Amino acid sequence: MSDRLLLRPWRVDDADFLLELESGREIIGPAGLRTTMTTREDALASIARRALDDPIHGVWAITTAVDGKLVGNLLFKPIHLSAGEPSDGPEDVEIGWHLHTDAQGRGYATEAARVVIDDAFSRGLTKVIAVTDPANHASQAVCRRLGMRHLGRTMRYYDCPNELFEKRAPV
């Protein structure tokens, strides 16, 4: 993937790391359902749901290239619309990341996301979005470093207010 990072599928032996990464954090899943990961069983169930058989979309573990140390999570998949939102065209594709606190501030999220976005654009995808919690200024900074344009606050996704960012493929 890059000189510093690799993306790989989540494995059963990653469950303890995933539980630590997501523990106590509200996770928004299919159809906007909110859950909190609290047990190893929750982590294992989440790993099972992360397997997407798709050449572009996925939910991957981010590891360091040198020693394979897990540092976080990167997702790139169709995003769920809020209840009642009209589907007025092709599904929007979301990019998102969550890094372990020990790995934050090193440019890993920007680096991993940039590679995935560039790959998707090379395969014909024309637009990528990111939604962030309005208070998550760190993720908003990553969006800006990726060259994403801030479109303002929206309720279009996940049935809650988010800051919406967009990046379009070069013409």
25-33 long-range contacts (CB < 8 A, ≥24 apart) are 25/98, 28/80, 28/158, 28/160, 30/80, 31/80, 32/80, 32/82, 32/83, 32/158, 32/159, 32/160
Q: Which amino acid is at 141?
A: A
The ranges assigned to domains in the chain are 5-168
The tokens describing 73, both together, are 């999570």
The pLDDT value recorded for residue 165 is 98
Question: Taking the model in full, what pTM does it have?
Answer: 0.86
Q: Is the pLDDT of residue 51 over 80?
A: no
Bridge-based pairing of strands 58-64 and 93-99 is unpaired
For the segment 60-73, the average pLDDT, to the nearest whole number, is: 95
The pLDDT value recorded for residue 162 is 93
The pLDDT value recorded for residue 29 is 45
Secondary structure E strands in the chain:
5-9, 26-28, 34-36, 58-64, 70-78, 93-99, 127-132, 149-154, 162-168
Q: In this structure, what are the phi and psi dihedrals at residue 149, rounded to the nearest 5 degrees?
A: -95, 130
How much is the CA Rg of the chain, to the nearest whole Å? 15
List pLDDT tens digits, range 98-124: 999 899 999 999 999 999 999 999 999
d(CA 144, CA 139): 9
Q: In this structure, what are the phi and psi dihedrals at residue 29, rounded to the nearest 5 degrees?
A: -110, -160
CATH class of 5-168: alpha beta
List pLDDT tens digits, range 120-160: 999 999 999 999 999 999 999 999 999 999 999 999 998 89
The pLDDT value recorded for residue 32 is 43
